[in-house]
A and B are shown apart, each in its own frame.
Chain A
Amino acid sequence: MANFSKPTVPQFSVDVYQNEFLPEGGREVSAIVTVTSTGGGTSGAAGVPGYAGGGSAGVVIMVDCSGSMDYPATKMRGAREATAAAVDTLRDGTSFAVVAGTHVAKEVYPGNGGLAVADSRTRAEAKEALRSLSAGGGTAIGTWLRLADRLLSSADLAIRHGILLTDGRNEHESPEELRAALDACAGRFTCDARGVGTDWEVKEVTGIASALLGTADIVADPAGLAVDFTTMMEQAMGKGVADVVLRLWTPVGVEIGYVKQVAPTVEDLTARRTEAGPRAGDYPTGSWGDESRDYHVSVRVPQAAIGQEMLAARVSLIALDPAGGDPRPLSQGLVRAVWTDDLAMSTSINPQVAHYTGQAELADVIQQGLDARKSGDRDGATAKLGRAVQLAAASGNADTAKLLSKVVDVVDAATGTVRLKAKVAEADEMTLETRSTKTVRVKR
């Protein structure tokens, strides 16, 4: 499958893991679809513009400059330094801009309503402009996103990405306004979101990242921002192809249960389907570098007789052309259903499906447990977080287990017996909530 004409286009491969055997009358078909892209982005030659020669990458950094960023003052300093480090990580030829966010959005650099192209001169100019950043004002994240969208659409770019940093709640616009801004920006650029300190709302930040197909995380200590921004920028620079969708084709009579990304994080995509021709729908996956993601597809097929076999779904990766050209199929996999009267075959659960079913439940029970804890339901919180400890231990999700152990005292991980800690650092609780959707892959 060598593709010599477009050396920087990633090669996608799709692997399907499922137990295709159903008992008599069985209708539920579950499969884990592993999508791996290689050969693009980071492994491509540095400085080579994005695929198809249609333009390169553009990144807009949105820095919270609300008044609270001065309390403590290390936050504003950390944000300045982190932004400077991110600017240093920009590859030559990448378009970029810096936006200062308060209750309004303001261009910091280049300030001409467009984007600058990264080279040694513009990088130095941008860092100079960062010195003028000062805290003061409110927080209206929707306005930041809309400005980023305007800036990114001012140039012909293959990869459009945003990096958003906030330290407080989105107090100076209504949740509906933020929702509307996210809907307007969804599919137009991807965005990573970070919360610094502990005064921000976890669900706002994770909601932004989820809607814009990026990552969300907490940086409790402003001193850690520079490292985090550098990593984020490196990942953005590694993206080789944007606007990739997961296309699910299903035969007549097949109902779709759900479509979830399950690795590296849990992200339910079921409601984000857009129709794409007869019996086919597209689920957005954003942009791809050298990486691998897993999806859990669950469908309900019509009953069929023992010995029958049918295609339950065809999963393909499609690169949409923003210019309106023909979508490019990248790779595909088949989800099958075979009816058998061999109970040993039909009752066994595929290890991948079992693993990710557990990981999705883990994310759910952490969220429910923390919600219960906040609302004072200690029994409910203990039960849910106990189940979370049990799942994390059983699946080898060491990172989540470590975060859980800062919120609960683990008596017996195997049975999920825990006690709520009397005193929990706010940063620990927020870290657990923000990272609850992170999954580990099954050992193969």
Chain B
Amino acid sequence: MSQKPKPKPSHGLAACPGCAEPLDSGDRFCGACGYDLSAVPAAETEPDRPTVAIVTPVVWPAAPPREAGSLSTATQHPGDLPGTDSGGRDLPTMAVRTDGPVPAPPGTDTPPSGTPPSGTPTSGGDFELAAPDPRTAVQVDPPGSPQPAPPAHPPQPTQPPAAAPDAAALCVACRAGRVDTDGYCENCGHAQPRERDHMEQELGSVAAVSDRGLRHHRNEDAFAVSATTLPDGSPAALAIVCDGVSSATRPDEASAAAAQAAGASLLAALPRGIHPQQAMHEAIVAAAEAVNSLAEEPGPDGAEHDPHRNSPACTIVGSVVADGLLVVGWVGDSRVYWVPDDRTTPAARLTEDDSWAAQMVAAGLMNEAEAYADERAHAITGWLGADAYELDPHTAAFKPDRSGVVVVCTDGLWNYAEGAEDMARAVPPDAAGRPLGAAQVLVGHALDGGGHDNITVALLPFTVTPPGAGSA
């Protein structure tokens, strides 16, 4: 659901006329001084473009082999291990696997003996938290403090906090009726906020926020974040983000199942010493199987298979930060961005959408501007689901040479920060230090831009521990 990339922001301004703060294309007001940008020229309203799958098979022209000098991200298959570093060069043989202690042979699932090094951001109980669990949001955000530490940046998400148990009894819309067992108000009939409408989770250094947005009636996104340790005791963090395909049946269940399965698969594989990129590949396969199995069971409403609707489907994108390595994997049009802490160095998009537009550009049939201007641009060509043509998980490994944050997100966010530089501007400078707050800021950025889709973003700080003095 990406927007077509505009040559320049719709308000035609690179910086605020009032205070010279840099602006994003979706901004309605200046983030620093509040200058009303719509007063300059009328802001272009973007139509909603839900993620849709192309149902009729398309015969694609054979893509030319990728040129060595191409700047686009290499799409790698698991057989291509060990991947490339961020410069596109081959990684040193074996240097990517866990050094130090010999990796535990497969089958020994027990954590390595000896106390993990300090800073290991995990505990035994965290292994159960792969599925997005809104209750965790309540833990992070105790009822005593109405809002988590408000970020220093103005765009604050305006969604209601997760419904407190006692508030659930009274309708949030009319404040007069009680809520019946179906989740509707007995007076005005309005649906009550559901658990998935807004979810937050923070685990050690990794955090994720998911929000229904302003235009969709339910949240069809899901995420899983976890932290674990490699066999050598070094920390590993992972994040999975899934976006349900709106045109399919039960997209919300598909995304939840995929995120849960992928997260669980990674949590099982990483401590066994399986290479993160291989583990990512297996996680996507596990997620695909979880989504496929949904197609075989009838929906919760007992509805039989409706031939007019297609199987549950979703996209998936995930990232693992472990052992100085940054691994990404995806199917569909959810993305990973790399935003270095030192903003003078370039940010990058690490994934290549499985979308019609991306395919047309890759095939050389259209240039990017033409492709993204087409109404089919946002149709995805790869997804998890029983009716997917062929599961083709893309994975890639990078070895960044500096610290930064990894932004794992659905199109609900990147619609409002499409380019890597746009995304870098939207990410708060202190994101690595407080990922949850930064994820909230990013969701707020998308809501301020219109919130046309569900928004989910997970942040994984990547820290380079230099042998000598710190360079960041």
| A residues in contact (CB < 8 Å) with B | 250-254, 301, 304, 306-312, 334, 338-342
Known: A309-B191, A311-B182, A311-B184. A338 touches B48 (CB 8 A): no
* A252:B187 contact, CB within 8 angstroms: yes
Q: Which residues, 33 to 89 on B, are CB-close (under 8 Å) to A?
A: 48, 50
Please tell me if B185 contacts chain A, counting CB pairs below 8 Å. Answer: yes
Given A251-B188, A251-B189, A252-B189, output 15 extra A-B contacts at Cβ < 8 Å: A250-B189, A251-B185, A251-B187, A252-B187, A304-B190, A307-B212, A309-B190, A309-B191, A310-B184, A311-B182, A311-B189, A334-B184, A340-B216, A341-B48, A341-B452
Q: Which residues of chain B have C-beta atoms less than 8 A from A304's C-beta?
A: 190
* A311:B187 contact, CB within 8 angstroms: no
Please tell me if B244 contacts chain A, counting CB pairs below 8 Å. Answer: no
CB-contact partner of A252 in B50, B174, B212, B213, under 8 A:
B174
The 4 closest A-B pairs by CB, nearest first: A251-B189, A311-B184, A309-B191, A311-B189
Q: Which residues of chain A have C-beta atoms less than 8 A from B50's C-beta?
A: 342
Q: List 14 A-B contacts (CB under 8 A).
A: A251-B190, A252-B188, A301-B189, A306-B215, A307-B213, A308-B190, A309-B218, A310-B185, A310-B190, A311-B185, A311-B191, A339-B217, A341-B48, A341-B215
Q: What is the CB-to-nearest-CB distance from B380 to chain A, in angstroms, rounded to a whole number?
A: 16
The docked-state distance in angstroms from the alpha carbon of A302 to that of B378 is 33
* B214:A307 contact, CB within 8 angstroms: yes
Known: A307-B215, A341-B48. A334 touches B191 (CB 8 A): no
B-side interface size class = 20 to 34
* A342:B189 contact, CB within 8 angstroms: no
Q: Which residues of chain B have C-beta atoms less than 8 A from A252's C-beta?
A: 174, 177, 187-189
* B188:A310 contact, CB within 8 angstroms: yes
Q: Which residues of chain B have C-beta atoms less than 8 A from A338's C-beta?
A: 217
Q: What is the CB-to-nearest-CB distance from B218 to chain A, in angstroms, rounded to a whole number?
A: 8
Q: Which residues, 140 to 154 on B, are CB-close (under 8 Å) to A?
A: none
Q: Which residue of A lies closest to B50 (CB)?
A: A342
CB-contact partner of A253 in B188, B216, B218, under 8 A:
B188
The binding surface of chain A is classed by DSSP as loop
| B residues in contact (CB < 8 Å) with A | 48, 50, 174, 177, 182, 184-191, 212-218, 246, 452
Q: Which residues of chain A have C-beta atoms less than 8 A from B174's C-beta?
A: 252
A251, A252, A304 interface centre (most CB from chain B within 10 Å): A251
Q: What is the CB-to-nearest-CB distance from B181 to chain A, in angstroms, rounded to a whole number?
A: 11
The docked-state distance in angstroms from the alpha carbon of A86 to that of B190 is 52
Q: Which residue of B lies closest to A340 (CB)?
A: B217
Q: Which residues of chain B have C-beta atoms less than 8 A from A334's C-beta?
A: 182, 184
Q: Which residues of chain A have C-beta atoms less than 8 A from B186's C-beta?
A: 251
Q: What is the CB-to-nearest-CB distance from B299 to chain A, in angstroms, rounded to a whole number?
A: 13
B212, B215, B246 interface centre (most CB from chain A within 10 Å): B215
The docked-state distance in angstroms from the alpha carbon of A251 to that of B188 is 5
Q: Which residues of chain A have C-beta atoms less than 8 A from B187's C-beta?
A: 251-252
Q: Which residues of chain A have C-beta atoms less than 8 A from B190's C-beta?
A: 251, 304, 308-311
Q: Which residues of chain A have C-beta atoms less than 8 A from B215's C-beta?
A: 306-307, 340-341
Q: Which residues of chain A have C-beta atoms less than 8 A from B184's C-beta?
A: 251, 310-311, 334
Q: Which residues of chain A have C-beta atoms less than 8 A from B188's C-beta?
A: 251-253, 310
Q: Which residue of B lies closest to A312 (CB)?
A: B189
The docked-state distance in angstroms from the alpha carbon of A304 to that of B189 is 12
The docked-state distance in angstroms from the alpha carbon of A334 to that of B452 is 27
Q: Which residue of B lies closest to A13 (CB)?
A: B302
* B189:A254 contact, CB within 8 angstroms: yes
Q: Which residue of B lies closest to A306 (CB)?
A: B215
Q: Which residues of chain A have C-beta atoms less than 8 A from B185's C-beta?
A: 251, 310-311
Q: Which residues of chain B have C-beta atoms less than 8 A from A253's C-beta?
A: 188
The docked-state distance in angstroms from the alpha carbon of A338 to that of B177 is 20
Q: Which residues of chain A have C-beta atoms less than 8 A from B189's C-beta?
A: 250-252, 254, 301, 310-312
